[in-house]
Amino acid sequence: MELIFGTHNQNKVEEINTLLPDHYRLWSLTELGHETEIEETGSSLEENALIKVRAIHNIYGKNTFADDSGLEVSALKGAPGVYSARYAGIQKNAQHNMDKLLNELKGIKNRQAQFRTVIALIFNKQEYLFEGIVKGNISIMAEGQNGFGYDPIFIPENQLLSFAQMSLSEKNKISHRSRAFEKLVEFLKS
Ligand code: ITT
């Protein structure tokens, strides 16, 4: 069965391809030659995932899913959340985003945070949402070179290392995105 994944991010495509049953053929936006950027104008991860999946489904008419993720910090009332990629500005610079976050949390004891992924699926014209969460804490300083985004300052619950100090396969065992993907795959298998 053909399924479109509304992303150009090849890492995400590979991650889900390893989880999908064999009879699914996954198409990314890159493979489809889709170049028009879909504006993520929603005020929640759910809204953004739905905006993306509806836009792509309208064009191609096939079963489609899309994801949106963000880092939600308790002491900042859930910020940066839906604005995670552009927290420090539209250049979407990971270092600037981390610097800004560490600055906002200076002197604050409560470092609790979570990464959250929402996947929106349109399957046989019906809409579904799947969520994956990993809880943890924001560290005092960045550590580690792996991963991307806020990984160097996020230490998952019950772990000593930041996401950026873990290998990709270690991160994927507990990450928000894998958890949401697993729920999607469970649905597709059922
Ligand atoms: P798309 O092109 O697929 O939209 P993106 O880079 O915008 O990819 P996401 O929507 O998944 O990625 O996540 C938005 C931002 O949230 C991302 O730019 C990071 O700043 C942060 N983020 C999400 N998942 C993360 C992770 O696993 N580790 C570190 N930061 C993450």
Ligand 1 pocket test, candidate residues 35, 69, 95, 168, most atoms within 8 A of CB: 69
Structure tokens of 158? 């019950």
Structure tokens of 188? 């597709």
User: What is 2-189's CATH topology?
Assistant: Maf protein (3.90.950)
Question: Is the dihedral angle over the CA atoms 3, 28, 15, 148 positive or is it negative?
Answer: negative
Strand 2-5 versus strand 154-156 pairing type? unpaired
**Does 147 sit in the ligand 1 pocket, CB within 6 Å?**
yes
**Does 85 sit in the ligand 1 pocket, CB within 6 Å?**
yes
Instruction: Please give the pLDDT value at position 10.
Output: 87
Instruction: Please give the pLDDT value at position 18.
Output: 84
Instruction: Please give the pLDDT value at position 14.
Output: 86
Cα 149 to ligand 1 centre (Å): 6
Which is nearest to 188 in space by CA: 140, 133, 124?
Answer: 124
Q: Distance between CA atoms of 42 and 66, rounded to whole angstroms?
A: 14
Ligand 1 atom 16, closest CA:
70
Ligand 1 atom 25, closest CA:
149
Ligand 1 atom 12, closest CA:
69
Ligand 1 atom 8, closest CA:
9
Looking at the chain, which runs of residues are DSSP E strands?
2-5, 25-28, 64-73, 112-123, 126-138, 154-156
pLDDT one digit per residue (tens) for the chain, 190 residues:
999 999 998 888 988 888 888 899 999 999 999 988 888 899 999 999 999 999 999 999 999 999 999 999 999 999 999 999 999 999 999 999 999 999 999 999 999 999 999 999 999 999 999 999 999 999 999 999 999 999 999 999 999 999 999 998 899 899 999 999 999 999 998 8
Output the average pLDDT for the chain.
95
- 166 vs 6, 27, 36, 72, CA distance in Å? 27, 29, 34, 21
Q: Which residues are catalytic?
A: 68
Kindly list the domain boundaries of the chain, sorted by start residue: 2-189
Cα 13 to ligand 1 centre (Å): 14
Instruction: Please give the pLDDT value at position 57.
Output: 97
